[in-house]
Each structure stands twice: as structure tokens, then as C-alpha cells.
Structure 1
Amino acid sequence: MLKFIWNSWWRNKERFILLMVGILIVSTGLSYLLGVTQANNGTVVNELQKRWDSSYHIVVRPEGSRSVTEDLNLLEPNYMSGLEGGITREQYETVQQIADVDVAAPIAMIGSTYSSSFTQTHAFDKAGLYRLKMNTLIDTGIEKINDFQDLKAYFWVGWMPNGDSTHIGIGPTALYEEFPLSYGSDVMLAGIDPVAEAKLVGLDDAVQATEFSRYFNEEDLPEPYDEDITTIPILMSSKDYVDASINYTIEEVDVDTTDQEAFIKTYLDQGKDEYLDSLKGTEVASYDFTAQQMHDNITKHILEGTPQPQDPRVTVDYTWLAEKASPLVYEGVTSPFPKRWPYSYQIKPFLAEGQVAYGQESMYRKSNKYAEDLNDAPKVKYNYIGLFDPSKLKLSKDPLTELPMETYFPASADWVMNSKDEPVNPPTTVKPTNNPYSFLTKPPSMLTTLDAAFAIAGDKAISAIRVNVKGVDVLNEESEAKLQAVAKEIEDQTGLITDVTLGSSPQYAVTYLPGLKGESALGWIQQPWIKLGSSITIFQEAKLGFSGVVASVILVAMLYVFSSNIIMLYARKKEFAILLSLGWRPSQLSKLLFLEATILGSMVALISWMILGTFLWTAAGSTSIARILLIGLAGLLIYWLGTLIPIRLVRRIKPYETMQSGEVSKGRRLLRSRSSVGMSLNQLVTYWPRTTLSILAIALPTSLFGFFLFVTFRLQGVLYTTWIGEFVALEVGTMHYVAMGVALLIAMLTTTEIMWQNVSERKPQLAVLKSLGWQNTSIRRLVLTEGALTGFFAGLLGVTVTIIIVTIMYQKFPTSELPFLFATIFIPVVTGVMRTRRQPEKSRKTVPSRARHDRDRSRRRYHQLVRLHVSRSQTGHG
């Protein structure tokens, strides 16, 4: 029987080539597509697992603290600096006691306080009236702000006021006295739980340990200093983050002050400071320093254990907490470039309430004062206990998974477009300011204890709790389920809101900064916002998408083999009828088909093992030997399953069918054959079994490519929205697009093979048409039309199958993806037309007698088979 199979293949070389093409299609589809899919899936999971880390897993906030941005799972990078409070100690302790909580670290943004120091003094060696001018220039990256532009103060050196002259507004200064040139700024004071913070970020290890610098201990408690003043322990940051330069210019005013009474009278009569401002002056000294130098002076005294330098003109040794934390309010706006920045917002400015604050009539944050009268605000005295370096904290520094840590670092931002929507090239880094109501504020420079926070801000001092969960080290569904379960338990027991931040990744969004009152707009700021749940979303999408590709490849292979076998059965019906007329039993024909399927399936398995073995060798760990063996055996199983129905159908063939020529159909004509289109449609409908199988065999690979295309676009929609997604996309991009090319090639080769089978069996029919007077151009038009129609119907069915698969797997109708899905219809249409173009060329060489020649050839083959059977029978009897 093996020899008979080989002879049958050898006599029908064209049919044998079709079988080999089918083997390559199935083996390539099983091995390369599955191998690439498995390798890509492994790459995605491995890259996500490497970055399954963050500084904290869950953030807990007070009810009502969500902004409009979080409807899209976007967490603003500035969110923590604007949280005033709202969480009690009892709620914090409840979170700590939840079983799977490993660390619960609270942060209390207490408010904005004032810190000042000086590094430079000036001694006046000549009596007279002096003008002190101060200029503070803050570089925000967008603009340079004159925080104190030409702020003037006047000092009368060598003059001692008496009587009413003590209230004229000019400060007396003694000769040779060290006059301090001080600088102060607003800093945020934050409260922490020292034990929890040490466990979360290693704050205790970031302290610059000296004899006078240490971490918090149990004895660091808030203590009453005076009637309404509280002494609190302070751990100071070594960084200031504000790019500010300060200039002091001292001028000797050109005015005669010898006659003190006459000068004072002129001064009072002519408008006081307006009079002094109109006088010329001669510069005698100028001093320049930076905000960081001033900050370093404070930290220097902390490390040395010496008292902070005190301006002798300041009579108090405490300060006030004037403002509470205030959030930014975002409003959705149209993005200037939606493809680059799909998310865009605008900051809502607020008018300054009451007295103009920080020299501005409007601000980017709403005024949130402790009290209208500064004297009613909380008063604190600092007890500096140590200094810490933020760069030594144990934080997740991977930019692909970095979370906002505004306790220690300012939010990052870039100025990318001006107010006219013109690009800023190159983009400029935006820097924080000293203004607590500005867009980008500096992080807390002073940390105190949670006890101090409650003593100052009341029972609901905690702004947020950062939580780490036990047993979520591996990226999988179990870890995600545990995170969600812990988050829900926190919400149920405390009434607070939670967001799972583990597995999140930055995503660029732009924010428009409108002009404040009396100022022009600043333009667009780009910031890495936090896309919550990015890793698990990519993981689930990749798993679902790649699993769908695997299932589609196997399904396409099975149905393709089935369709090809049925069409081949139609083509070999006369051959099988001859064998039955010679005495073959139907069971022998079934065994023949099963043996052929076994041979072809074994060849598919061998080719698959070779290709997958290459994957295993070149990409270690991308697949396993067991999976390779199973995929190869799947090829054999596919050919076995694909031949089951042909085995049943071959038993229905009768010996008299050997006298038939071609296929016989009793179907009626659908249309009157007045054109090539009508005749082509009639041809397809008349031979509907072959047509149906042809359309099915072409449609399924087309649907595979369509589904692969959908997965690609959907994954891009998920991957290219976050930094970690873009990184993963780069890792799998090349292999994925090669796999897409293979899927497209399978669709084209399948279409080619089916068209080849169809036109090969129609040579006698074309010869009859030519004998009836058809010209070559008419035959060309007929064949091309049939190829185009078959391809169109197959493409339409393929798109329908793709839409059904997508809808079932993703539980959504792919509305936005319909254009490119329907574009896949052109693949079988174009391929069908290109393949059938060669048939009209062959028809030119076909003469009308070809139809009779084919019938005579069949008779000769019949007689050859009879003689062969008789000779074998005689040999057997002899």
C-alpha cells in the first residue's frame, strides 16, 4: 500500500506539490507561530516579573480625595503634596492589624512653616543712612521669578533714636556691628511613624550619623514650650531643591543726616519711603549666595550640634504654621497632540482670599490657612535631632515602575510647549518653588513624629498611608487577587479609599498652566503620571492574546486539513471508483486515506520538531522539550482528525462513478449567465460543496491573521501607554511582527493552494468553453472573477469569524478595530486573483480537443489499472 501511495503521488506531481505546500503551512503554523508566541509570552512575563516592584503596594487616602483624573486609573504625580489630612490614629492602627499587611507607613502633611538662616554679615564702618536692596531670583525652568524684587530697607548707622523718632520706620544700627544678611523660605513640615518609615524606605539608614545627628527614638515627643508653643523634634533633609539665587546690595544714601531733626522732618513730610527711594545712593557692598548654601548652613549646625544662628533683630525663637496642604484641581481639556498625549488636563487657578499672598492675586492652589490671623495659627519651636540624605533611601529607582515619593523628592515635570502650542525644543525641566501654592512644590524639608503631627493638626492629621502586603513577590493572578482583597478589607474596616500601586507604571500626560491674574499663560507641562495596574493589565492581555493565537493556530490547522482533504477527495473520486471496480473494499480505501494522513502528519511532526528545537536552542527557556513533543504530536493528531470525515465519505463512492467525467451537480442556476460575474456565481453555487470548502479553507487562515492583527493593535494600545509597556514592546516587537508576517504568509499560501486545486480540476471545462468559441480574454475574465469572488466571500467569512472570536474572548465588540479587520478581506481577494492569473495563460495552450483527450486519458488509466490488477491476480494464483 505504501508503494501504491508513492506511485499515486508520483503520477500526480501537481497534486503532490499541493500536499507538500499543505505540510509546510501546517508545520510552520504549529511550530513557528506557537514558538514565537510562547517566546513572546515568556519575554513579557519575565520582563514584567523583573519590574514587579514598587516603593509601596497600596496607598490609602481619606474619602473624597480622588480627583477627576482617577476615573481613568491615572494618579497625578503631585497628589501627595496636596493631601491635608483626614485619617485618624484609630484608622491607622486598624490598617496595621490587618493580617496580610506587612508595613503600613503613614504620612501627615502638617503644613507650611518658615525656615531662615544667614551665612553672611556686614559691618558698617561709617555713620550715615544706608539702603539695603534684596533680590531673590528663582529659576523654575519655565521662567525666572523675582520673589523679592528690589525689596528695600533703610538703616541709619550710628544713630540712636529717642522720643517719637523711634517710630519713624528707619532701623538704627551701631557702627561696626555685624549686620546679618538672612534668607528664609517656606518649607513643608510632615509627620511620619519612625518605625514604619524605617521599614518602608530605610529612613534610619539614610541619617548622617554623627555625635549630634541621629534618628528618631521613643523619647522624641512633642513638648509644651510656652503657653501655646510646642517644641517638636525635627529630622532635616540635606536637599533644598529650589534653584534660587539671592543678592544683597548695600548703598550709602546721598543725604545729609547731620541735623537729625531736620532730616526726620523732611522724611516725614515728603512721604517717608517714597522720599528715600527718590534719593540716589552709592554702592558700598554686594553679596551673592544660593538657597542651597543657606540650607547647608542650617544642616552644618545640626551636624556640629551648635545653635542655629539667630538674627538679633528677631525677638522670638519660634515660628508659625501658616498654611495647610492644598491640592491642585484638574479639569479635562483637549490634548494638543492626542496621539502623543492621550491624556491632558488644565489647572484651575484660584483667587487669593483676603490679603494678597506671596505677591500674587491668584494661585494654582486654593488658599488653605490654619487661621486668618497669624497669631491664632499653631506655633512650634524646632528641636533639630538629625540630618538625612534622600539619595540614600531604599526606594524603587526603576523609572519604569517609579511611584511619587513627594515626602522626599519633588515631582518631575518638563515644559514641552508654550502658551501658543509651539514646541519647546529641547524641553526644559521644571523646578519647584518656595511658594506652597505654586504648581510644583518642593518636598517636606522637615520631618517630625506622628505624635507631633496629631498635637499640631488634630485628630485627623494623617494624609495617606502607604501599605506593603505580604506574599505578593510573584507576578500572577494570585498576587493580584491578594492585593485586591487587602485593599477591599482596608476599605471595609476603615471607610477609607485605596488604590493598588504595585505593578503601576508612569505614563506621560500634559497639563496646561493658564495665566494667573495679571500674568500670561505658561503653556503645557509634561509629567509622568501613574497608570494604576499597568503590569497586571499587560500580563492579562498578553496571556489572553497569546493564548487566543495558540488556539486559533490549532483550530485553523485542523479545519484547513479537513477542507483540503475533502477537496482532494472530490478530485480523486474517479480514482477511488476505479479501485472499487477492480475489487478493492471500502475498508481498504479507508486504510489508504488513514495511512496517507499518518505519513503527512509524521512529516508535519518532524518539521515542527526541527523548528521548535531551533527555538529551544537559540532562546533557552522560551519553551520546554515536553511542549515541543506535544506540538509535534498535535500535527499528527490534526491530520488524523482531518481525515475522519473523508474516510466516512470514501465509503459512499460507487464503482459506476468511474464512468463520470468531472463533478456532476443537480443544482439550478442562480443567475442568467449574461456576464462573467453571473457565470462565475453560477459556477460557485452549482458546485456548492467544493465552493463552501474552498471558502472555509481560505477564510480560517484569514481570520487567524485578523485575530493576530487585533491582538497586536490591542497590545500596542496597552503597551504603548506606559513606560514599562513600551519597554516590553521593544523586547518582543521584532519577533512579534515576524510572527505576524508568518500568519499573513499562511493566509496567502492557503489561498494559493485552494485556488490551485480548483483551477487544476477545471482544465477540461475550460477546454469545452474554448471549443464553444470563447476567446482567451473572456476566459481570463471568467477565471479572475471566480478567484476574486471566492476570495471576497472567504475574506468576509474570515472577518466575521475574527469578530466572533474577539467578542467572545474579550467580552467586547471591536468597534474601533473594524476598519483594519475589514481590510484583511483584500488578502484572499488579491491572492486569489494573482493565483488565478496564471490559469488564463495556460488556457491559451489548451485546444478544444483537450476535453476529449482528458476523457481518453481517464480510459487509458482505467485499462492500465485493470491490466495491473489482472497481472497481480495471475501472479498470485501461479
Structure 2
Amino acid sequence: MLRIIWRQLRGRAWRSAALLAGVLVATTGFIVLTGATSASRLQVTGDVERNTRAAYDILVRPKGSRIVLETDRRLVRPNYLSGLYGGITNAQYDQVRRVSGVDIAAPIAMLGYASAFIPTPLDITDAVDRRLDRQVIRVDPTFVAERGLSTAPGKPQYVYVTKHPLIYPVFDPKSTTRDTLYTDGRTYPGDECEHPLPVREVMPDGSSKPICGGEFGPSTDGRGSGVSERDIKSVAAVRLLPDGRFESGGVIQSRDDLPEPTDRLFLQMRLSVPLLMAAIDPVAENRLVGLDRAVTRGRPLTADDGPDDIPGGSLVNRAFPVLSSSRPYVDGAVRASYRRLVPATVAGVLETELADQLDHAPAVPVGEGRADLSGGYPTVQGGPLTTLVQAGPAEYDEQPGGTLRAREFPPKPDNPDPKSSVEPEVVPWLADDQSFRPLRDVALAKSMDVNRIWSVVGSFDPERLAGFSELSKLPLETYEPPRAEGADERSRQALGGQPLEPSGNPGGYLTPPPLLLTNLASVPKLLEGGTSPQRAAPLSAIRVRVSDVDGYSKRSAERVRLVAERIAAVTGLDVDVTLGSSPSAQTVELAAGSFGRPALRLSEKWSALGVASVIVQAVDRKSVVLFLLVLVVCALFLGNAVSAAVRARTPELAVLACLGWRPRRIGLLILGEVAVLGLAAGVLSLGLAVPVAAVLGNAIGWQRAAAAVPLALVLALAAGAVPALRAARAHPAAALRPAATTVRWLRRPRTLLGLALVNLARTPGRTVLGAGALAIGVAALTLVAAAASVFRGAIVGNLLGDSVALSVRGADAVAVVATVLLGAVAVADVLYLNIRDRAAELAALQAVGWTEGALARLVGYEGAALGVLGATTGSAAGLAGAAWLFNGVPGGLILVAAITAAGGVLAPVLATLVPAALLRGLPTAQLLAEE
């Protein structure tokens, strides 16, 4: 049998050489390209490792803290800590620390929002007329937040500017009388105004009168809910000195402590801003994120810091130490218009009468101003600790298409304790806006002798902390401020092209990170005697770094997984592996606000868990699929060629059957021929793969190159299996009968194109194989061209997965080009076989007067028809795949698909030049004689 196989291959030398070349190209290409895949995989894995180094590897939260949405989508919502207030005990924290493999366990206890008054000074210097003896500058403020979308007018503020001297009250905590000592050495009654301790103006006759101003607003009627700063009026007194400078002040500590003159005059507006307070373990936090190295002012927080009692007369100020953020991460400002008026009298007029007089006095516009709260935030050194406001997690309704709609909650309720002895405080003006989080007030211990406050020991810059890399920067980062971009054009225009940031509303959708950090040692004393449920389980989360893990790798991922399983088993808490996570954009809809903000559609980054593992696997799958297409198209080419050979040798095989060859032996004969070709191609590929890879700059070893031999053999046998089976099943008598086709219908073609289509329809299987091989290449070309052209080489977004998972690499492009070329060769082979099978027909056409040009055009039309069929099918498949991968069909993608389809048609048309050239040597007389 081997001798017969060898004779058959030698007898059809050109055909055998063509088949050998096809297998050789496909096998060598696959070996070289998969070598490039390995090198690229190492590079991509390196990218993943560099960009998944996180502050921590495991996130531990209270049992049941995951919302259903997180579980279903394998996500963690941004600012997950903002709605977690306790739930983990100190004993569970100790269990986590003792788990083998835990390097750092950093707990954090979210406590709630503490109030702070942020000075927001408005410069009104240029509004003052220095020629006037007395004047009042009226300031009409407008409070602004959320990129200017939420606004609310405030009550007017007045600055009384006089050239007359002012005298100031001196604070004396030991005084038991109503009379107050002033800086002129005299005492005056303390009940001349509703507001205590007013500044006094010295009249020209030497007497003095009180300026009854200060801050005053509507009564709270004992509700204990406080008032907004936009409801408070004020009258400030300022002296214009002869040298043009300004002197202003209030209650002073001693007669020698007089106000310093200033060159500029500022109205000190105060915005009430809620600052999120949390407790940490300073030692663990220093190791985890380098908190001590991020301190920019003062000193770091230590584990030994505790509340200090500071005497203050009849009250003791118990100051709890905090490390404050140097950045407020709150979008808020005040803009104002200035008007000047000249009142008849100011000094000696009571507050209510003075306010009515100034409100209705004629005034002249004299300018405008604006101030952001970020300017005055660094000067804040403390604030009261009477009540903490806790905002629960946002809740969502899932809309069609996966969009999330944030649920709405009522604004902050009144204090539920009507017997509270705590004085009403000014609350943020935006607290009356629509809330997207449930709110509750947690009262701390009340005492008539102790006043609890928070006091700044130092400031830290959150942007100097260790965190996540830029590509994998996550909202899991504890101190990362949340931002949400507009998800549609309307929302982007409303936001002015800028992201939405947290506002001064504690129930707002976006919440700032913890801006005030105290230590865990202070928590029991802070919560002692209060109503907080956190006293038994104060911790909100534990962030864990696993030892011997530096970036993502399979070994690191497995090590982290094992530690996470141990923590979950020991503590029973919710445990998430954050190693290898990446941001994942989610679309969120917000209802319109109460202060002018329209409804918004936002794109918000959530944290997709385990993305690095998916990326590495996806890159491997994508590349292997592309390279397998080379083998698939080659197999189609071989299968078509072997089928044609079997068809041409039908009489020969029938003779062998008549001579007693069994069907099995006939099938083995066909398989033997393709096996010899495959084996020869594999051996040649073994010698070519290494040098070809070296020329392309991609070294591969001989072990990988040796895989070419079995690969080529398997490829050849797979391609020849079906034709061999068909040859073995043919009946000898039926094979010896001349081929005849039953005519079901007859339609005479009137054009060359019509005749070409009829010719292709005569061998539908062969036509489908050729067009299918081309379609596969064009589909792959469309996908890769879309990524390379429309998306500039990669499907790049802000996510790590987008950055590397669909990158278009050189090896992928080579694989696609090879696939398209093999498809074109398959089309050329179909045309060659058609010419060979219809040689007698073509000779007859020449005999009746057809020119070689006409016959060449006929073959060209057949190639063009095959090209159109394969290219349009492949382009449509590639377009559909690209639309599925890229979530849409951009206009550029359609253009790319059209260009690849045109290229797919052009390639087989050019490939027809070779089979068309065979028409020139067509032996017309011989063929007609044989027929």
C-alpha cells in the first residue's frame, strides 16, 4: 500500500505540493503564533500584576451586609463603609488577626457625621465707601452645591461700618453679676440687647450705645431640630480706622487682647458641614496605607491618644483627638451680591427693630462675591459632639437594561427625644433636600458639666496614602472620594462636563470619605452613656493584607483565597477577596432635588471582584481562538482538496473495489496519502518554526517546535477523514457508471454572471466550503480591525479589564491575515477544481468560438461570487460579534465592516488569476476527443 501511496503522490506532484504547502503554512504559523501568545500572555500578566497591587487583599464586613445587587453582579458598591455602623466585635477582630497568613488586619469603625462650622469669608472691602462716616453693607447670600445645580437664597447679612471708636466686652467666667466689663474700663448692663455681650459704639458726646446684632434667626419652638444657616441673619460691627484699615471683633479674653487691624474687610460667613467620623487602629493604618507618612500638619494619631478634659469655667470641655483630612471633598460655596445703604441709626436699636429697618432701607448695588468652603476648611480645629448623624446605605430599584434607580427617603427627621437638653444646632441647608439614604440621630451622653468636642491633633492628605493603582483604582479605597460622571448628554451638560461630588447633605447619594479619624481606644468613652447600638460591636469593616502577596498571580490568588476561607470559617462574617478587582461602570438614576437639581443619569464605578483572573483567562482564550481559526480554514482547504481528489479518482477506486479491495482498505489508502503529506509538513515545520520565530523576534524552544509534527499529522487526518469515509462507502458498480444528474428544472442563463452562478450551484458542497473558509477569515478580520481602528488598538476605558483583555496584538493580527489568505487560497482551489472538472465543457465553449478572455471572465465572476458570499457573511458575523462585545454599533464600526468586506471580495478575485491562467494551456482537441 505504501508503494501505491507514493506513486499517487508522485503522479500528482503539483497537487501534492500545494496540499503540503497548505499544511506547512498552517502548522508553522500556529506554532510560531502560539509562541507569541505565550510571550504576550507573560506581558499581559505582568500588566495585571502591576495594576492590581492594592492596599488590601480581603475585605471583611458584618454578616448580611452584602446587598442582593452585590451578590448577583459580583460587585461591591462604592463607599460601602458609609452605610456600615458597627456589626463586628473586638473578639472577631482578634480572631481575624490570629488567622494564619494574615499580615495586616486594619479595622475601621464608622461613627457618623459630626457637625463643623466652616468659615467661608466674603471679601467686601471694595463695597465700602471710605468717605462716609457711617454705612451698612448688605450681603444677600445664595448657597450653592452640586456643581451649581442646587441653590438656596439666604437671609441678608449686614456689616455696619463706622468711623467711631468701638469698645468690646471682656469675658469673665468668674463674674456673678449681669454687668459686663468692657475695654474702656467701665461696666455696662448685660441685658440691653436680646443678644448677650454686644459690641458698643462710642458716640461723639463720649457716651456709648450697644450695637444689637450678632446672629439671630427663627425660633425652633423647642423642637430640637436646629435651623439652617440660610435662615440666620447677622449684624457685624466694624470700625474704619483713620489709616484706612479695618478693626472688627467680639468678646475678648482680656483688655489687652484687642482686635488686630486688617487691610481687607471680610464677612465671615459660616457653613455648617457634616464631616464623617471614623475610628481606626493607628498602628495598623500606618502599616496598611502609610497614614503617619501622609500627615501634613500637626502630629500623627497614636493608639495611646485619649480624650482630654480642658477646664472652661463651669463646663469641662472633653476633647476627643482626631486626625483631620486636609481636603474637605465636599462641593459647596456661597455667592453673594452687595448693596450699600446709609441708615439713620444703628447703635441702641434692638435686634428685631433693627432687622426690620435694615430690610426695608433703600440700597445701592456695589458688587458681587463668591467663596468656596474649601478655602476655610483647613482652619477648622474642632466642633461639638452632642449628636452623630448616621446615614444608611443607598438602596436601588433595578430598571430594564440593568440601570439602577436610587430609592428616595424622607429628609432628616426632627430629634425624636423632645426632652433633650441639648441646645439646637445649625444644620446644613442641604439637609432639607431629597435624601437617598435613611438617616438616624445617635445621641451621645448628655451632661450639664461636660461639653464633648472633637479636637484636631494633626491633618493628613488622603492623596498621599498608599492605595490602588491607577488602572485598578477602586471605590473600595477607604479614603477615595466618590465621583460620578454624567451617563448621558443631558446629564453631562447639566453638570458642566464635570463629575458630581458629595454635597453638604448627610443623606445625599454621594458621601465623602471619613474626614475625621480618631483611635479605637476613644470609642468606648465616646459612646459611653449614649444611645448608639455600636457599643457591643463597634467595628464596621476589617481590611486584610495577606503575607507574601505582591500583585496578582495564580499563586497569590490561591493564597488569598485560602486565607479568606479561613476568616469566613472562624468568624462567620461576610468576606470578599479584593485582590485582582477592577472598577466596573454602573448606570444610576437620581430623582430631582428640592433645590433645583434636575434628575440625573450617572455613571458610577463599582468594584468588580476577581477581574484580574478573568482578564488573564480571557486573553488566553481570545488568542487561542484566533490561532485555531488558521487550522480550521486549513482543514477546510484540505478537506475540499481531498474530496475533489476522491471524486476525480472514482473510477480508479472502483477498479480497486472490483479487484477485491475492502472498503476499509480503500479508506486507509486515502488516509495514508494525507497522512504522508501531514507527516512531511510536520517535519518541515519542525525545522522552520524556530528560525521563523527568531526572525519575528519571538524565541521559541525546540520542545514547542516539536509539537508541529503531531499537529500537522492530526490536521491532515482530520481533513481527510470525511473524504476517506465517502470513498470507502462507494459501491463499485455505482462508481463505474458515468456520472449523471437528474434535471429538476432548467433555466438557460443569459449572461456570464448567470452562468457563473449556475456553475457554483452545481457543486454546492465545494462552494460552501470555499465561501465558509473565507467567511471565517473575514469575520476575524472585522473584529480585529474594529478594535484596531475604531478603538485605536484596544477597547480602552478606565477599567483594567478594558485595558488589556481585548488588546489587539501583532500576533493576533498575523493570525487573522493568515486566516484570510488561507480563505482566499481555498477559493482559488475551488475554482481550480471546477476548471479541472469542467475542462471538457470549457473546451467545447472554446471550440464554438469563446475566447480565452471570455472564459477568464467567467472564472473571475465565479471567484467574485464566492468572494461576495464569503465576505458578506463573514463581515456580518464579525459586525454582530463586535456589537455584542462593544455594547453597540458605532458608525466607525460599520465603516470598518464595509472595508473588510471589500477586502474579503478583492482577495479571492485576485486569487482567481492562478486558476484562470490554466485556461491558456487548455488542450481543446484532446479534451473533445476524450469526451
Establish whether TM, by shorter chain, passes 0.5. yes
| Structure 1 residue 728 corresponds to structure 2 residue 804 | yes
Q: How does 1:273-292 map to 2 (within 5 A)?
A: 273-279=355-361, 291-292=373-374
Query: What is the match of residue 326 of structure 1?
Result: 392
Corresponding position: 1:87 with 2:164 = no
Aligned to 1:748: 824
1:613 aligns with 2:694: yes
Unaligned runs of 5+ in 1: 300-307, 309-316, 336-342, 807-811, 856-878
Going from structure 1 to structure 2, the CA distance change for 1:439 and 1:564 (only over 3 Å counts) comes to: same
Q: Which of the numbers 447, 452, 476 marks the counterpart of 2:517?
A: 447
Residue 674 of structure 1 corresponds to 746
Please say if 1:233 is aligned against 2:259: no
Deviations 1:309-350 (A, max 9, x none): xxxxxxxx8532331133333444578xxxxxxx64444343
SS of 1:851's partner is helix
Q: CA 1:696/1:144 → structure 2, altered by over 3 Å: closer, same or farther?
A: closer
Aligned identity (percent) is 24
| C-alpha separation in 1, matches of 2:140 and 2:904 | 78
Q: Does 1:370 align with 2:441?
A: yes
Q: In structure 2, what is the equivalent of residue 864 of structure 1?
A: none
Q: CA deviation at 1:461?
A: 2.8
The one-letter amino acid of 1:366's match is R
C-alpha distance in structure 2 between counterparts of 1:596 and 1:288, whole Å? 84
User: What is the CA–CA distance in structure 2 between the aligned matches of 1:350 and 1:376, rounded to whole Å?
Assistant: 32
Alpha-carbon distance, 1:189 to partner: 1.1
State the 1:515 CA deviation: 1.9
Superposed counterparts of 1:230-379, under 5 Å: 231-242=319-330, 254-256=343-345, 263-264=349-350, 273-279=355-361, 291-298=373-380, 318-333=384-399, 344-355=403-414, 358-360=428-430, 361-366=432-437, 368-371=439-442
Deviations 1:760-812 (A, max 9, x none): 2431354468889999999999989998999999999999x99xxx9xxxxx9
Residue 671 of structure 1 deviates from its aligned partner by 4.8
Q: Residues 740 and 348 (structure 1 numbering): CA distance in 2 closer, same or farther, change over 3 Å?
A: same
State the one-letter code of the partner of 2:147. Answer: G
- Bigger drift between 732-741 and 139-148 goes to 139-148
Question: SS of 2:576's equivalent?
Answer: strand
Assess if the C-alpha contact under 8 Å between 1:60 and 1:498 holds in 2: yes
Residues in 2 aligned to 1:190 and 1:604: alpha-carbon distance in whole angstroms: 66
Residue 173 (str. 1) matches residue 202 (str. 2): no
* Cα distance in 2 between the residues matched to 1:92 and 1:596: 68
One-letter code aligned to 1:759: I
Change (3 A) 1:194 1:646: closer
Which secondary structure does the structure 1 equivalent of 2:457 belong to? strand
SS of residue matched to 1:46: helix
Write the deviation string for residues 371-408 of structure 1: whole angstroms up to 9, x where unpaired.
Answer: 58996999733354333333332223x22111226643
Once residues 518 and 486 of structure 2 are traced to their aligned partners in structure 1, the CA distance between those partners, rounded to angstroms, is: 34
Distance 1:30 1:711 in 2: 18
The Cα RMSD (Å) is: 6.2
Residue 201 of structure 1 corresponds to: 289
The CA distance in 2 between the partners of 1:66 and 1:653, in whole Å, is 64
Seen in structure 2, the aligned counterparts of structure 1 residues 112 and 849 have a Cα distance that, compared at 3 Å, is same
Instruction: Write the distance in 2 (CA, Å) between the matches of 1:704 and 1:178.
Output: 82
Match of 2:305 in 1: 220
SS in 2 for 1:611: helix
1:394 paired residue among 466, 470, 473: 466
SS state at 2:428 partner: coil
Moved more, 106-115 or 77-86: 77-86
Alignment of structure 1 residues 771-782 onto 2, 5 Å: none
Q: Is the 8 A contact 1:31 1:608 kept in 2?
A: yes
CA deviation after TM superposition for structure 1 residue 197, in Å: 1.1
Change (3 A) 1:11 1:366: closer
Closer/same/farther in 2, CA of residues 379 and 596 from structure 1, 3 Å limit: same
Tell me the distance in 1 between the aligned counterparts of 2:399 and 2:480: 28
> How far did 1:200 drift?
1.1
Work out the CA distance in 1 between the residues paired with 2:438 and 2:651.
Answer: 93
Q: Does 1:629 align with 2:705?
A: yes
Q: Is the 8 A contact 1:206 1:393 kept in 2?
A: yes
* 1:113 to 1:253, Cα distance in 2 relative to 1, 3 A: farther
Select the residue among 567, 584, 591 that pairs with 1:514: 591
Cα distance in 2 between the residues matched to 1:115 and 1:524: 31
CA distance in 2, matches of 1:173, 1:332: 59
Provide the C-alpha distance between the structure 2 equivalents of 1:835 and 1:283, rounded to a whole number of angstroms.
Answer: 83
Instruction: Write the deviation string for residues 278-304 of structure 1: whole angstroms up to 9, x where unpaired.
Output: 2468999999976445333347xxxxx
The answer to whether the 8 A contact 1:602-1:635 is kept is: no
Of 21-30 and 108-117, the range deviating more from structure 2: 21-30
Q: Does the CA-based 8 Å contact 2:577-2:609 persist in structure 1?
A: yes
SS at match of 1:233: strand
Mark the runs of 5 or more structure 2 residues left unpaired by the alignment: 125-129, 170-178, 181-187, 202-246, 252-267, 415-425, 528-533, 658-664
The corresponding residue for 2:622 is 545
Distance 1:7 1:837 in 2: 30
Aligned-residue offset at 1:36: 4.8
Specify the SS of the correspondent of 2:523. Answer: helix
CA distance in 2, matches of 1:766, 1:118: 96
CA distance in 2, matches of 1:426, 1:246: 18
Q: Compute the displacement of 1:213 (Å).
A: 2.0
Q: After superposition, where does 1:460-859 map in structure 2 within 5 Å?
A: 460-473=537-550, 475-517=552-594, 519-521=596-598, 523-551=600-628, 553-554=630-631, 557=634, 560-561=637-638, 564-565=641-642, 567-568=644-645, 571=648, 599-615=680-696, 617=697, 619=698, 624-626=700-702, 628-634=704-710, 637=713, 641=717, 664=736, 669=741, 671-672=743-744, 674-675=746-747, 699=772, 723-728=799-804, 731-733=807-809, 735-767=811-843, 849-853=925-929
Counterpart of 2:261 in structure 1 is: none
**Partner SS state of residue 324, structure 1:** strand
Q: Is the 8 A contact 2:824 2:911 kept in 1?
A: no
- Whole-angstrom distance in 2 between the partners of 1:36 and 1:136: 63
Please report how far the alpha carbon of residue 21 of structure 1 lies from its aligned counterpart in structure 2 after TM superposition: 5.3
Contact 1:30 1:631 in 2 (8 A): no
Provide the C-alpha distance between the structure 2 equivalents of 1:754 and 1:117, rounded to a whole number of angstroms: 81
Question: Which structure has more helix as a fraction of its residues?
Answer: 1
Whole-angstrom distance in 2 between the partners of 1:74 and 1:846 = 69
Return 494-503 or 698-707, whichever deviates more. 698-707
Name which of structure 1's ranges 484-493 and 826-835 shifts more when overlaid on structure 2: 826-835
Q: Which moved more, 1:635-644 or 1:109-118?
A: 635-644
One-letter amino acid of the structure 2 residue matched with residue 295 of structure 1: Y
| Partner AA of 2:89 in structure 1 | T
- Equivalent residue number for residue 312 of structure 1: none
TM-score normalised to structure 2 length: 0.66
In the superposition, the TM-score normalised over structure 1's length comes to 0.70
2:88–2:537 CA contact under 8 A, matched in 1: yes
8 A Cα contact 2:317 2:451, kept in partner: yes
Shift in CA distance, 854/80, structure 1 to aligned 2, threshold 3 Å? farther
Match of 1:427 in 2: 497
Against the structure 1 CA distance between its residues 34 and 753, is the aligned structure 2 distance closer, same or farther, given a 3 Å change threshold?
A: farther
Q: Deviations over 1:588-643 (max 9, x none)?
A: 9999987766555444444444432223x2x5xxx532355225445664587579
1:252–1:281 CA contact under 8 A, matched in 2: yes
Instruction: Tell me if structure 2 keeps the 8 A contact 1:349–1:516.
Output: no
Aligned residues: 790
* Cα distance change, pair 762–39 in 1 and its aligned pair in 2 (3 A): farther
